[in-house]
Amino acid sequence: MEVTRRNFLGASATAVIAAGTMTKGKVFGANDKVAFCCIGIHGQGASHIKDLLETEGAEVVALCDVDKDVLEQRGKDVEKKTGKKPKLYSDPRDVMADKKIDAITIATPNHWHSLLTIWGCEAGKDVYVEKPLSHNIFEGRQVVKAAEKYGRIVQHGTQGRSNARWIRDIQLMHDGFIGKINMAKGFTYKNGNRNSIGFASPEAPPKNLDWNLWQGPAQEQPYCKNYVHYNWHWFWIYGNGETGNQGVHQMDLAVWGLGRNTLPVRTYSSGGRFAWDDQAETPNTQTSVMTYEDGAVLVFEVRNLGSYDEAGKETGNHFFGDKGYYVEGQGFFDYKHNPIPVEQPEPPGKSKWENFLTAVRSRKQEDIRGNALDGHLSAAHCHIANAPYRLKRSLNFDPKTEKFIGDDEANTLITRKYREPFVVSEIA
């Protein structure tokens, strides 16, 4: 049986794989190019295309977007750059059925990230998925299961884990360079980069946009200009606020640096959407505090209205050990504020795409800089931070079951009601 869109849609991927129509993927020689399809190519996805066209060993053979105008323009751009016309898909299920595609990149709105990643794994493709890995905790865990079950390479697009300085400095922290790390602070201020989005009324979607596919797993809503193409970030049905937007980059570093490799047991978050009288739902000012079983603390701050530049940065991370502290961009210090010199050189640097291609070729999970589990834990921290803000009370969390303790209302935020046929199901 040939893998086509029809049987991809009509049968479970498990049944198709059992029938022997999907394989574990191509074995790449030193000179073989990895054939990519970029899915979601309006904003960040356009940078995926640009970077891959400039990365040795990668070839962009297909593009996918639900906006016909964006899709056609990006196709022309690739053809002009390479002399080859890529395949153009509006429906990502057609991408999954194309056996000539080795890997996909995902830069859609957040509510599509996990489902597309799972579909890619089921279809035998490796996946580079933009941050955050998930829109909710449940589906992030299913991505981890899918990557393991189908033996796929999944790399999370938080980028910092490919940075040579971070690789060295976090390893030093884990080795006890400033003692045991007991607190991390991440922050994102985005001074001047965010503004009121005003109000927009429901209307008919533009003819170039497949509104049904854009919504995908989310429940049906009337089209509104304030959703497409960027401000969906500020509505809970599609996005995760600034904590899950820019903030997930800093959250990922905070989680990595703390080195607990688990989720917190208590969480509280407060703030609001101040000054801007607009339609958005998510806060522009938010402080979250998450506590781990051993008492370690992660503090995370979001401010969009403006702030002083902390340590000369509008986004960043600080780490505090029992012998000293670390300031991103400045280095290590003792508690008398004396710099602690670092003699260890940075490792040879690779871009996020070079790291991804290395892992695709080697098939080694240890070659991935930010794997599915890393991405799940970092994204889940964002969801765990947002939940008490939305419910306006502190919450207790069980890292083993990945559910809130004794709180049925909070546990409704662990997953969502999916819209057929765009359903994230439990993976055995």
Can you give the residue ranges of every domain in the chain? 5-161, 163-196+230-346+371-411
Structure tokens at 420: 């057929």
Average confidence (pLDDT) over 134-140: 98
Bridge partners, 186 (sequence order): 300, 317
What is the distance between the alpha carbons of residues 155 and 367, in angstroms, rounded to a whole number? 10
Q: What is the pLDDT of residue 404?
A: 98
Structure tokens at 313: 């940065």
Q: Which CATH class is domain 163-196+230-346+371-411?
A: alpha beta
pLDDT of 137 higher than 60: yes
Whether 347 contacts 164, CB under 8 Å: yes
Average confidence (pLDDT) over 154-162: 95
**5-161 is a CATH 3.40.50.720 domain:** yes
26 pLDDT band, cuts 50/70/90, is: confident
Q: What is the pLDDT of residue 9?
A: 54
Instruction: Label the pairing between strands 315-321 and 325-327.
Output: antiparallel
The answer to pTM > 0.75 is yes
State what percent of residues in the chain have pLDDT above 70.
Answer: 93
What is the distance between the alpha carbons of residues 364 and 121, in angstroms, rounded to a whole number? 16
Q: What is the pLDDT of residue 16?
A: 41
> What torsion, rounded to 10 degrees, do the Cα atoms 427, 389, 293, 159 define?
60
Write down the mean pLDDT value for the chain: 93
Q: What is the pLDDT of residue 17?
A: 40
Q: What is the pLDDT of residue 7?
A: 52
pLDDT (tens digit, 9 = 90+) per residue, 178-221? 999 999 999 999 876 799 999 999 999 999 999 999 999 999 99
